[in-house]
Amino acid sequence: MKIKNKKNIFQSLGMTKQNINIFLLGIIVIIIGYILLAVGDIYDTISMFISPIFLAVGYIIILPLSILYRSKDSEKEK
Query: Is 4 a domain residue?
Result: no
Query: Is 44 a domain residue?
Result: yes
The pLDDT, as a whole number, for residue 16 is 85
Q: Which residue has the higher pLDDT, 37 or 40?
A: 37
39-60 burial, b for 16+ CB within 10 Å, e for fewer?
Answer: eeeeeeeebeebbeebbeebee
Query: Is 2 a domain residue?
Result: no
Query: Is 77 a domain residue?
Result: no
The pLDDT, as a whole number, for residue 42 is 86
Q: Which residue has the higher pLDDT, 45 or 77?
A: 45
Query: Is 23 a domain residue?
Result: yes
Q: What is the residue range of 44's domain? A: 14-70
**pTM of this structure:** 0.77
Q: Specify the number of domains making up the chain.
A: 1
Under the banding of pLDDT at 50, 70 and 90, the label for residue 2 is: low
